[in-house]
Structure 1
Amino acid sequence: MKHKKNHSMLSKSAPYLLTIYCIAVLLFFLAELKLFGLDEYLRATNQVLILFALLIMPFVIINMPSFIQSLTLKVSDKEFHVQLNELESNFTQTIGRVQQQVSTSEQSFWPILAGVDILAEKRLEGANPRIIIGAKNDPSQLFFTQLLALAITHENAHIVCDIRYPNGDSMHNFAELKYRWLDIYMDYTGTCIQYFNIHHKTTKNEIKSHATLTDELNQYGQELGIKWLPSLGCSEDYCLVMTPEFAESEEITSINDLKTKGGKLTFSADPEFMNRKDCLLGLLEYGVKFKSVLPCSVTDRYSAKESGEAEVFVGYESDPQVFNGEVTRLNDSEQFFPRYLAQPLVSDTVLRKIPGLEERLLLLKDCMQTNDLNEIVSRISYSNNDPQRAKAEAQRIFNNALEKHKLKESVK
């Protein structure tokens, strides 16, 4: 906002600055010609004139798009055409992107700077231990917090669950878990492997199993006091999407097509996606380059679709827009993106302090499928992220998980 205000002030002052500049140069010129007696008052060396021009020129250049839309330079037999309003737009987008990146990084710095929560042990003691559940900012995470709370308090109603929704991005929640500011949250395999540079493919370019990736994560987790539990069975994979009409007109069906056609398209993405190696940074290495990148909030990723400011968008497979066919999901035939299976991350200390907690959380293993999650996210989204709606959906899934568990036990 501050940048916009400053830019607006500069834009308004540009014509006045340019007028003053022209008048000053004219006076110096007339003085050099010794007209009107100006040479008695105004004398300027070449160096002074050059310095004067350099002083005023930045203001003129910055504000040129306000009154000059394009500029054509002719050198020998070649012409160079510069669209100044596009340069201004790209400059503004770059500033916005940097601001978003700083904001994302700031989130994870706080728990790191604060260090380990000295009251973490105390809140797990007594007749009513308190477990803090973290979450990111989207409808699926609202649902997951309620599902985790049901598993934690199952046959243990004395446990108090403190749900913190939303609680920042992935990095922030992971940092808070490591430093004991929260005790459990739901994340995705594809996200977590980025923290430790674990690749989802083998050296032979084969896809690793979810069990293999979880084992690799837990090797690091042993040193951090964190445990990755098995997946719920559902995924919320990243994807790239476009409007069906535009994808058809440009004959784009896959991410691979963007290697040759992305250079003229604008991509809209949230800060976390822009800063991750499995996301935009990886796409650049993969050979996908866009004309420009438009930052957006994670909860407003499709706003640029309505305004026409972007043609390609980051999506989750659980997005109602993807699920309902409002946008076209680009095929990922070469499996650039890893799988993003939902799985709980929990503090080792909490598992040790609360008897039977791990067994109750394991009730959630393979408790639902991706289609279930897609439908749940749609209903929660249409309820305007109503916590009661999320709780009702979680209760239904948890009841089904209990029935499956009882059936398995009876077979044994």
Structure 2
Amino acid sequence: MAKRDYSNTGVNTRLAHIGNDPHDFHGFVNPPVVHASTVLFPNAETALGRVVKAKYVYGTHGTPTTEALGNAIDALEGSAGTILVPSGLAAVTVPLLGFLSAGDHILIVDSVYGPTRRFADTMLTRLGIEVQYYDPLVGGGIAKLMKPNTKVVFTESPGSVTFEIQDIPAIVEAAHAGGAIVMMDNTWATPLYFKALDHGVDVTIHAATKYPGGHSDVLLGTVSANAACWERLHQAYLTLGVCAGPEQVYQVLRGLRTMGVRLERHQKSALDIARWLEKQPGVARVLHPGLESHPGHAIFKRDFSGSSGIFSIVLAGGGQTQANAFLNALEIFGIGYSWGGFESLAVPVVLTDRTVAKGPYEGAVIRLQIGLEDVEDLKADISRGLAAARG
């Protein structure tokens, strides 16, 4: 039976069918969960790879399970290849280690995910790499920050917890002119709402723990690269041996099948609540790029095809005491440091480690993950929190 090409179908059709062909495994819809370390070769020549190169050589190099998810991600990203690693943070650290050497300079957006900053400020600096943070709104002006030894520009849009929108095409143009590659943490939008490689990004990173997994029960990261960067990324992956387990890979592949319809729900609910919050007493600002009031909305509309379910609010005055009162009054929202799952979450935002993107903000900043619950119930819960913060 000829294999179907789903490249010209709708996104939910693609998500339902990409990655593996059921007829490769006796018609079973889902691929097998292959638990593997050792792979046996038919002869010594194949083992040495001198006559026939074996498709699979060892568990860390890939299995039919990892191949299925990798193929699916490549189909979404338009990438030359994808590696699967044990967490979203590993998806950040592996490419950075693969593309940077002692004496290199890296530019990192100041609104980056906190653990990425910690890795840069500790591991990268210890390895002799010069780390510099830049304003998320710099756009093409990043050309002025480039140095002869700048090898990587690391982006994240929207920015973590404060949701600044970066002008990715302008940054890409300046970075490439200066001889650097561009990496992007694209977890917020997923490749459904922002195809990073189509905008010139070289390496795109996702915490598949979030929307691809979708059920708050799995840790996984994916890193995809264009043709120019794929071989170096792949070699770093093989050298470091940071590979994902088969059960986690399978769970993310399963979650991927429903990611489109879940994201539609996350997007609709989050925008509804964000617009409602703009009118609520006790809220100074809503930091959601999908809102017309957001400073980066024009770039967002130009580059993104949708928004996900996470954004922040700024309370109208107060500090940690008011933030704590808001959070402690919530009954449906959990207090937890993740997102992308079915449940709504809220966490306080701390910006003390930033050097550029510090605000100012009118009051405490709180990040909200809007889950799959009924919107009216979530609004009632947020109202409880706002009343407690005002009190």
Same fold (TM over 0.5): no
TM-score normalized by the length of structure 1: 0.25
Greater Rg over alpha carbons, structure: 1
Q: Give the structure with the higher percent helix.
A: 1
TM-score normalized by the length of structure 2: 0.26
